[in-house]
Chains A and B, each alone.
Chain A
Amino acid sequence: MHKKLTSITDKLSPAFLIILILVVWQAVVSLGIVPNFMLPSPVQVVQAFISDFPSLMENASTSLQETFWGMLIAILLAFGSAFLMDRFRLVKKSLYPILIITQTVPTVAIAPLLVLWLGYDMTPKIVLVIISCYFPIAVGLLNGFCSADPDVINLMLTMGSSKWQIFCHVKMPSALNNFFSGLRISVSYSVIGAVVAEWLGGNSGLGVYMTRVRKSYAYDRMFAVILLVSVISLLLMKLVDVIQYLCMPWERNPSDAETAKVP
């Protein structure tokens, strides 16, 4: 009973804090402490969100397409390169440091170059999503492949399995946890990556929308689109959790081990 109460408190406390912040925010604007043309109130943001909903959705659809293709290609590239790095020591030795260096390059800085090289359509956006998402997935997978128990690999060898079979039956499934951790991080970067690339030019997308409303000083709509980007990121992260749950049924309830305790 006590435990249940604690868990309810745990769940409610962040919600309570968010409500408190919103109330204070609304009060600060309504009472004129901060001028309204600089900061819209939460109610105004919601109104802007509703009135501009069709336009927001249309732009979101463009951004989500870029995110989807970018993520897909990033995952495929990460699989390919992590597989090669795990299989061939030389590939790992030569490729890994380069990967780390590419991570230190700020994406905001290369985005204009990508637009310059690849034009105003979806391509530079997809490329930027790939660049920001590839690394966490590749590193997660590589660590996962390397973490496979050497005793299990020996056992597989005594069963006469090939390297490919060891990869499929041992390394790949042992890397799933790490893969999903990497994917969760990547997914939160991916929408932001697409939006940042859209700032620099394009015909539609949440980033394009953002630049447009900023230029017209429509801060209520600015906040509305920020809200939308956050919500999309959160939903995508949740989606990763759901996919992980579906892909890893053995992790679901380890606690019912008690049901079969026969020596």
Chain B
Amino acid sequence: MDTKLTAEGISKSYDENPVLENVNIKLHDQEIVSLLGISGAGKTTLFNIISGLMQPDRGHVFLEGKEITGQAGHIAYMLQKDLLLPYRSIVDNTALPLILHGVPKKEARQQASLHFAEFGLEGTQKKWPSQLSGGMRQRAALLRTYLSSEGVALLDEPFSALDTITKDTMHSWYLDVMQKIKLSSLFITHDIDEAILLSDRIYILAGKPGTIIAELPVTAPRPRTREFMLSEDFLNYKRKIIHLLKIE
């Protein structure tokens, strides 16, 4: 498999206070990889470094072999907050990355609209973000992320602000969408179940300063359903992770 994204030996401190120490991450083509860690392990700092918003003290980030350390604009990212612009309709929000790259407005809208059905957003084109539910807004945010990406997206706890039932729906939706589109995604989460359900591989980030303490491939077959979450297989993964995180 081709390597899309590599983060090599990333270290970062804030005022003598080390947050990340020698973090190494690889993301292959069309893979879903989770970065699982408890709060304060430096997940968000790592994402800001990978997305290029922040410079690491040491280490490099490569996208398809090209160094992009500290350069924003190559890797799309999505947060817990949908950050849809309230003054743009849903189609204009999702088309924004295309418009920013100089695609004429009409064409950008058409291109974005092509994906509305795929993302389960039919009929919302002309709505304002305030007229949509939290789940729908995250769908639109993912579509915008997808359209702004060069094939790699970082998702920082994108579903954690949603209620449990919506979250379950969004997980099935996400797995479904990822089958249809070509996107390699690195997914931050603190939710062990979510990480096992969605990922091909899980990196476990822990310690102070944060470092990768384990890498765990999840080989369970796809498509994964709710049933999978009740299987012995699933519980074994969970047991292993709990053990690694030393949760008592």
Contact = CB atoms under 8 A, between A and B. Distances in A.
Q: Do A and B bind each other?
A: yes
Contacts of B87: 173, 176, 248, 250
A36 B244 CA distance: 94
Contacts of B170: 263
18 contacts: A151-B79, A152-B83, A157-B53, A157-B72, A157-B73, A158-B51, A158-B72, A158-B77, A159-B97, A169-B85, A170-B85, A250-B130, A254-B130, A257-B132, A260-B124, A260-B127, A260-B136, A263-B135
Contact of B73 (A160, A254, A257, A263): A160
A159 to B, nearest CB: 5
Contacts of B130: 250, 254, 257
A155 B48 CA distance: 11
B73 A260 contact: no
Given A250-B88, A262-B133, 5 more contacts: A151-B83, A155-B77, A160-B73, A170-B85, A250-B130
A124 to B, nearest CB: 39
**DSSP majority for the A interface?**
helix
Given A257-B130, A260-B132, A158 B85 contact: no
A158 B100 CA distance: 11
Interface residues of A, number: 26
Given A154-B53, A259-B131, A260-B132, A159 B148 contact: yes
Interface string B108-140: 000000000000000010011011110110000
Contacts of B86: 250
A173 B132 contact: no
A18 to B, nearest CB: 37
A169 B131 contact: no
Given A169-B85, A173-B85, A263-B135, A158 B169 contact: no
A61 interface: no
B78 to A, nearest CB: 8
A196 B132 CA distance: 50
B81 interface: yes
B59 interface: no
B136 A263 contact: yes
Nearest to A172: B87
Contacts of A157: 52-53, 72-73
A176 B165 CA distance: 37
Interface string A225-250: 00000000000000000000000101
A30 B148 CA distance: 76
A64 B96 CA distance: 41
A161 interface: yes
B100 A165 contact: yes
Given A155-B79, A158-B72, A159-B76, A169 B53 contact: no
B131 A260 contact: yes
B101 A152 contact: no
B186 interface: no
B121 to A, nearest CB: 10
A263 B97 CA distance: 25
Contacts of B48: 154
Contacts of A121: none
B198 interface: no
A10 interface: no
Given A152-B85, A169-B85, A159 B100 contact: yes
A169 B127 contact: no
B90 to A, nearest CB: 10
A160 B51 CA distance: 11
A263 B124 contact: no
A250 B92 CA distance: 13
B75 interface: yes
Interface string B1-44: 00000000000000000000000000000000000000000000
A3 interface: no
Contacts of A161: 73, 100
A259 B77 CA distance: 29
Interface in A157-195: 157-161, 165, 169-170, 173, 176
Contacts of B97: 159-160
